[in-house]
Amino acid sequence: MTDPQTAAASWLSQVEESTRHLLHTVAELKPEAVAEPSALPGWTRGHVLAHLARNADSLVNLLNGARTGTDIPQYASNEVRDQDIERDAPRPLDVQLADLRASDDRFTAAAALLPPEAWSASVRHRTGYTFPAADIPWKRLMEVEYHHVDLDAGYTPAHWPEAFATAEFRRLAAKLAGADLPAVELLAEDTGDTGLIGTGEPVLTVRGPVRALLAWLSGRSTGADLARTPDTALPRLPPLG
């Protein structure tokens, strides 16, 4: 079994690479693009960028809490979180990019300060549940990869790293197992991964590349590119929160 520090280090390496791609995408945007709609309803690209920067800082809080053995809240409050995103969303593109870089530097520096035993410490998510500090890099990776797609700036689910897409497919398939929907069997044709979501006996088999399956499970695709047996409509998935 992989120890917490090793697991964290592996995902931190992927966060670094994924952030580099994200920064490249943002640097290539036109200045006016920051005020244009993102793929998230009601959010501009500026909202997405502001959220990514403030999320990095929120995870610095959790890393510092793990290192010092104190219960540091991820955000001061959910209201403050939302207010900060609204405040920062209209900023010019160069300011957004600088903030994104600086917040990533703070995240990387905070992670580097953790001694091996601190990766096993429990930290508290903003919604209240606790999880090991070793999962913080993974949570940052999800934010970077999903919201890079949400920018709607040329980065698509097809660009997701295979390690991320495979791990996240497994996580979401497990989360949706037993969900209130007709049972669907999932088959990732490129990796061989399988899953069963919903309840009862499978009424549908859905096949495709793992990235395409994840795009559907995560709400970033209609699933129109997935093969279905029988050839019927895909069920509506419940929100994952």
The answer as to CATH 3.40.50.850 being correct for domain 4-155 is no
pLDDT of 1: 59
Please state, in angstroms and rounded to a whole number, the distance separating the CA atoms of residues 55 and 88: 13
φ and ψ at residue 208, rounded to 5 degrees: 165, 180
Do the Cβ atoms of 213 and 206 come closer than 8 Å?
A: yes
Please state, in angstroms and rounded to a whole number, the distance separating the CA atoms of residues 102 and 33: 21
AA letter at 4: P
What mean pLDDT comes out for the span 65-75? 97
pLDDT for residue 86 is more than 70: yes
In this prediction, what percent of the chain has a pLDDT beyond 90?
Answer: 96
Please state, in angstroms and rounded to a whole number, the distance separating the CA atoms of residues 27 and 92: 12
Each residue of 96-123: pLDDT tens digit? 999 999 999 999 999 999 999 999 999 9
Give the count of beta carbons closer than 10 Å to the beta carbon of residue 168: 21
Q: In the chain, where are the structural domains located?
A: 4-155, 162-229
Each residue of 50-64: pLDDT tens digit? 999 999 999 999 999
Each residue of 121-141: pLDDT tens digit? 999 999 999 999 999 999 999
Q: What is the pTM of this model?
A: 0.96
Strand stretches in 18-145, DSSP E: 122-124, 130-132
Q: Would you call 177 helix, strand, or coil by DSSP?
A: strand
Fold identical between 4-155 and 162-229? no
pLDDT of 232: 92
Give the pLDDT band (50/70/90) at residue 160: very high
Q: Which residues pair with 206 in a beta bridge?
A: 186, 228
Tell me the CATH number for domain 162-229: 3.30.1050.20
Name residue, tokens 């490129």: 190
Do the Cβ atoms of 131 and 125 come closer than 8 Å?
A: yes
Give the pLDDT band (50/70/90) at residue 241: low
